[in-house]
Chain A
Amino acid sequence: MEFHLFTNYVEIAAVILFSVGFTTLLFHQNLMKKIIGFNIMDTAIFLFLAAKGYIAGRMAPILVEGANDPALYINPVPSALVLTGIVVSVSVTAFALALVLRLYERYGTLHLDEILYLTRGEHD
């Protein structure tokens, strides 16, 4: 088994970004900060996927006239998947922000612990 310590630098960056986003999600009590951390995790996964489709020295998958040899272009499938993912992440963000706004309207705070404290006994 061979180790690719420094050739996989894009994947390493993606993993570090994912960890930073995850840490933001876990440690911050502010709900808006949690959503931003969630978005960072999203983009880190997209970066990882796009890096898996990249092949050095090849062109983007937009065909040049008269050349449709597969050895000339990079993999189009990760690009298509990530394009779907970007748009879905935006709709998830909009939904989450709307929920946060409703929570703020009701409880007057963005702090998760305070909201949990204020919801205590509401559902018994």
Chain B
Amino acid sequence: MIFFEILLLVFLIVCAVAVALTRQLWQAIIIFMSYSLVMSVVWVFLQAPDLAVTEAAVGAGITSILFYLALKRINAMQEGKKGGKSK
């Protein structure tokens, strides 16, 4: 059991480092989403089911949705500006 727990913690650290090292923003957001999901499993190990449910719903779900929408809007603004220049 301790082995599995340490594996999850190592996965968390690898995710955090990968977020720091990726060049693409959307890749960083997906990695951050999986980081939050693994974090909710870690909370089940720490005997905090309330935190696990809340992290899975709020941390992995809502935060990633917000990041995605912000990225989508930034991309839309970028393309709108390019289209305006070419016309």
Could you tell me which A residues sit within 8 Å of B by CB distance? 9-10, 13, 16-17, 20-21, 23-24, 27-28, 30, 32-33, 35-37, 39-40, 43, 46-47, 50-51, 53-54, 58-60, 62, 74, 78-79, 82-83, 86-87, 89-90, 93-94, 97, 100-101, 104-105, 108, 110
Nearest CB of B to A108, in Å: 7
B63 at the binding interface (Cβ < 8 Å):
yes
User: Chain A: interface secondary structure?
Assistant: helix
Chain B residues, CB < 8 A from A53: 46, 48
Partner of B12, one of A17, A33, A35: A17
Is B70's CB under 8 angstroms from A100's CB? yes
Known: A79-B51, A100-B70. A32 touches B32 (CB 8 A): no
CA–CA, A36 to B51, complex, Å?
20
The CA of A97 and the CA of B43, in the complex, are separated in Å by 27
Which single member of A30, A78, A89, A101 contacts B70 (CB below 8 Å)? A101
What 0/1 readout, one digit per residue, does chain B (26-49) give for beta carbons within 8 Å of chain A? 001100100110010011001111
| A/B pair count, beta carbons within 8 Å | 113
A-B contact list, 18 entries, CB within 8 Å:
A13-B9, A13-B13, A20-B16, A20-B20, A36-B19, A36-B32, A40-B35, A47-B42, A50-B48, A50-B51, A59-B47, A78-B48, A79-B50, A82-B48, A83-B54, A86-B55, A93-B63, A97-B70
Q: Is B87 in contact with chain A by the CB < 8 A criterion?
A: no
Residues A90 and B58 in contact, CB atoms below 8 Å apart: yes
The range of chain B's interface size is 35 or more
* A76→B62 CA distance, assembly (Å): 25
From A57, which residue of chain B is reached at the shortest CB distance? Answer: B47
Q: Is the CB–CB distance between A9 and B6 below 8 Å?
A: yes
Complex Cα distance A93/B10, Å? Answer: 25
Q: What residues on B are CB-neighbors of A47 within 8 Å? A: 39, 42
Chain B, 2-29, contact with A by CB distance < 8 Å: what is the 0/1 string? 0001100110110011011000010011
